[in-house]
Amino acid sequence: MTAKDKFLGEFEQFLLLSILKLGDNAYGSTIRQLLADIIKRDVTIGALYTTLERLEKKGLVDSKMGEVTQERGGRAKKYFKVTAKGEYALKRSKQALTSMWENIALFQLGLDS
């Protein structure tokens, strides 16, 4: 990844962070529910998988098919894992945002930082 590479989008960051938070239990349904619980965003499963596919193509996440369970109508889960490249992209985006936020105060909006 070079300095000219684009930073991750907001939703891409949310997805990568969700996968990291969920650890070995990161698949479509759990990621969707985590996003709904923490950032109150009710994303459609289609939008979720479209972004995950894009991240996988970029080499930022890996996926593997899991076990078939009864409550899923006999359908397998697709587990996701953040790759080393994905972690680096996340750190890079966070550092860029932190740098941009330095010495910024949003008093006018009534926020204290």
Partner 1 sequence: MNNSTTRIQQPPKIASKFLSWALPDYIREPVLGDLSEEYLQRIANNKLLAANYWYWRQAMKSGTQFMFKTQRGFVMFIFSILVFLGFTLMAMVLGGSIDIYIDAQSVLIIFPPAFAFTLAATSLKEVKQAFTILFGNDASQNVQAYKSSQRVFSVLGYTGVVLGMFMTLIGWVAMGTNMDDINAFGPAFAISILTLVYGMALKMLCYVAEQKIQTLSESNL
Nearer CB in complex with partner 1: 76/106: 76
Q: How far is the CB of 51 from partner 1 (least distance, A)?
A: 12
Nearer CB in complex with partner 1: 14/27: 27
Fill in the per-residue mask, 88 to 107: x = in contact with partner 1 (CB under 8 A), - = not in contact: --------------------
Rounded Cα distance, 14 and 99, in Å: 19
Q: How far is the CB of 3 from partner 1 (least distance, A)?
A: 33
Binders of partner 1 among residues 24 to 83 (CB under 8 A) are 27-29, 32-33, 44-47, 49-50, 53, 65, 69, 71-73, 75-78
Query: What would the DSSP string read from start to end of the chain?
Result: --TTSPPPPHHHHHHHHHHHHHGGG-BHHHHHHHHHHHS-----HHHHHHHHHHHHHTTSEEEEEEEEEGGGTTEEEEEEEE-HHHHHHHHHHHHHHHHHHTT---GGGT---
Q: Is the CB of residue 8 less than 8 Å from the CB of residue 16?
A: yes
Q: How far is the CB of 40 from partner 1 (least distance, A)?
A: 16
Which residues here bind partner 1, judged by CB under 8 A?
A: 27-29, 32-33, 44-47, 49-50, 53, 65, 69, 71-73, 75-78
